[in-house]
Chains A and B, each alone.
Chain A
């Protein structure tokens, strides 16, 4: 039966997103909130995430283009972005965000001693800012990959129709 096949496809696609490390437990929290009153809640939240975070990404990009990096500002943006990514269970994106924030703290002279700017002046600063930029490229890559995968997943979900927990018409 076509519906059974589609349902299986939904389950397999979903499972692979977890197995490949794209999503974590937080995504299940969102699924728990989905119900008959909000049957597309998960997709709506993910759409909201991509819409809202686009602005943050632009802000970070602009901040990274400056000649002199404001690590505090960057860290602030990234704190927000990491928080949002965490809310939808975006595991890989979140991991890259954590790394980025560590580099921001190093750029401020805090954090890992071997990245401290004390005594190393320009070299360490450039080193850290390169790392921030490169990590951000990685973030954008993971962000875009997840978007594609989730779009494909929601498409199958829609094709498969309402889930077992939905009320069947009487």
Chain B
């Protein structure tokens, strides 16, 4: 059975009056993501709050932590129930790359999935993410549609056995 999900791409900049979106226009909790257990690691409280809400809006169950250390310990205590880790790359003490490396030392490449969040505009960040065993990457600012797209892409690749 094939499940087809179509995402409506909204070109918000075309709306000159910046009209607030009505509830019918807001992205809904997508069935594929409902109940998806996520650990979110970001040292910035503001980003953490916004990204957590964003993931919850998509239907995910989110545990938010503020450091690489907390992320690793949350992951080990959750055993295998966490499907996805969303990781800010630029964290002090232990950055996202190191967290990913440590996760991949003991876990397979597809469980948990790891999506990096970066402010960097450099081209080689994605390569580095891949080398560290990450499955996806999002550039800041994190947008609802952007996260939904990347989540879907990453889950789909796993489904295809890549």
Flag if B50 contacts A87 (CB, 8 Å): yes
> Taking the complex as formed, is B132 at the interface, i.e. its CB lies under 8 A from any CB of chain A?
no
Flag if A15 contacts B144 (CB, 8 Å): no
The size of the chain A interface, using a CB distance under 8 A, is: 28
Q: Which residues of B contact A31 (CB under 8 A)?
A: 20-21
Interface SS majority for chain A: helix
Q: Which residues of B contact A77 (CB under 8 A)?
A: none
Flag if B21 contacts A32 (CB, 8 Å): yes
Task: Classify chain B's interface size.
Answer: 20 to 34
Stretch at the interface among A44-52, A114-122, A134-142, A147-155: A44-52
Stretch at the interface among A21-29, A64-72, A125-133: A21-29
Flag if B46 contacts A32 (CB, 8 Å): no
- Per the bound structure, the CA–CA distance linking A80 and B21 in Å amounts to 29
Flag if A41 contacts B18 (CB, 8 Å): no
Stretch at the interface among B22-30, B97-105, B107-115: B22-30
What residues of chain B have their CB less than 8 Å away from a CB belonging to chain A?
A: 12-13, 17-18, 20-23, 26-27, 44-47, 49-50, 53-54, 57, 119, 140-141, 143-144
What residues of chain A have their CB less than 8 Å away from a CB belonging to chain B?
A: 14-15, 18, 25-26, 28-33, 35, 38, 41, 44-45, 48-49, 52, 79-80, 83-84, 86-88, 164-165
